[in-house]
Amino acid sequence: MENKSGSRFILIFTSFVGFMIGGVSCPCGILSVSGGVLMRAMVLREFHRPFVPAEVPLPAIGPGELLVRVKACGVCYTDVKISSGLTPGVSLPLILGHEVAGEVAGLGEGVKNFREGDRVSLYFYLNCGKCEYCREQKENLCADLRARIGFQWDGGYAEYTRVPATHAFRVPAGISFEEAAILADAVATPLHALREQAGVKEGETLAIIGAGGLGLQAVQIGKVLGARVLSVDLEEKRLALAKSMGAEETFQAAGKALEDAVLSYTGGRGVDTVLDLVGKNETMHSSLNILKKGGKLVLVGYSFDQPFSILPAILMRGEYRIIGSRACRMKNMEEVIELAAAKKIKPLVTETFPLDRVNEVHSRLKKNEILGRVVLVP
């Protein structure tokens, strides 16, 4: 670990080995005046303000927890919503980042199934494990959620984070840390939406609205499930990537033009499933209009200012099903790791940035200038 704070901290050591914190061996670190080990992080101190580089105490791990040296952290559009104060239940200061992969750097009391150096990707819903939903393996719906990493629990925009060992998933060496990071959300979320929620089957036609961070991974998941995938976006570059991920056809259109084009492509029938990753009023209505009768609209994208109103008679006549899908479940973590290890999918990381350039990544995300998924590396 390096000291980049200049005169802000008086450092006793710039690096040392074997410092003990909370009974846990810390591999390296810097000491603050008060004697705690510090790490570099980009901290959100105020909503609508840039992340601030800071040296903050290394997370102190409790029983059953792992200290994880962050090797890669994906940047999700949800992070923009959090930093804008739009996401409920978030208080500051906070270290964001919910797509985290790294190496185990310390073991809390009682942890037997991990060793230092193990490569892991983290499941970010820190669920209770006891409620009705947890007992049904619907961890994402937990009624007594402790926190979500990067929302109410310091996450991956830092050199280290901590996690209950139950929420760390081993990643084989054939998957890079950058890929392992985005498996946790950008890849696992479309898998949950398309398999559990929509029940997409071999030979069905699937339209994916949005070819961004999730949409490009979703094309691959749709293909793995055996669907014919149509990708919809307004940006040509994104659609070219969607095509390279295996989309059968791409549509650079919105509204009526999109609806006409998709209906014409499907011979007037419409598609079996639409996965809407944008969640604007216009995309949700167009999504319904391109469904075949009895088709399913799965909503993953959302805006807090875009309600979706529909005449019940429309739903009734077409027997359409509108389904919400929230992030992913623990079993999806194992599944995406297996799919990536078997080379059935290739998690698409389009750019890598050093952690201290996170503000640049966020401003480009806000301007819609990011192609695919960006990963931060501490």
Residue ranges binding Zn ion (CB under 5 A): 76, 78, 127-128, 131, 134, 142, 185
Tokens 């494990």: give the residue: 129
Cβ closest to Zn ion, residue 130 vs residue 344:
130
How many C-beta neighbours within 10 Å does residue 128 have?
A: 13
Provide the CB-side half-sphere exposure for 157 (13 A, CA). Answer: 28
Cβ closest to Zn ion, residue 75 vs residue 245:
75
DSSP code per residue over 120-137:
EEE--EE--SSSHHHHTT
- CA 239 vs. chain centroid, Å, equals 21
Closest distance between Zn ion and the C-beta of residue 119, in Å? 21
Distance CA 205, CA 40 (A): 47
Cβ closest to Zn ion, residue 243 vs residue 364:
364
Closest distance between Zn ion and the C-beta of residue 144, in Å? 5
Strand, coil or helix: 274: strand
Closest distance between Zn ion and the C-beta of residue 90, in Å? 14
Q: Cα dihedral sign for 342, 347, 349, 350?
A: positive
Closest distance between Zn ion and the C-beta of residue 142, in Å? 3
DSSP code per residue over 145-192:
--EEBTTTB--SSBSEEEEEGGGEEE--TTS-HHHHHHIIIIIHHHHI
Cβ closest to Zn ion, residue 37 vs residue 82:
82
Cβ closest to Zn ion, residue 134 vs residue 200:
134
Closest distance between Zn ion and the C-beta of residue 332, in Å? 13
Distance CA 99, CA 75 (A): 7
Closest to 374 in 3D by CA, of 72, 38, 87, 134: 72
Cα separation of the two ends of the chain: 10
| Sequence-distant (≥ 6) Cβ neighbours of residue 60 within 8 angstroms | 21, 22, 162
Cβ closest to Zn ion, residue 125 vs residue 251:
125
Closest distance between Zn ion and the C-beta of residue 133, in Å? 5
- By the 8 A CB rule, do 179 and 349 touch? yes
Cβ closest to Zn ion, residue 127 vs residue 217:
127
Strand, coil or helix: 235: coil
Closest distance between Zn ion and the C-beta of residue 128, in Å? 3
Our CA dihedral for 284, 290, 293, 294, rounded to 10 degrees, sits at -50
Cβ closest to Zn ion, residue 186 vs residue 271:
186
Closest distance between Zn ion and the C-beta of residue 99, in Å? 6
Using CB positions, name the residue nearest to Zn ion: 76
Cβ closest to Zn ion, residue 14 vs residue 368:
368
Closest distance between Zn ion and the C-beta of residue 276, in Å? 16
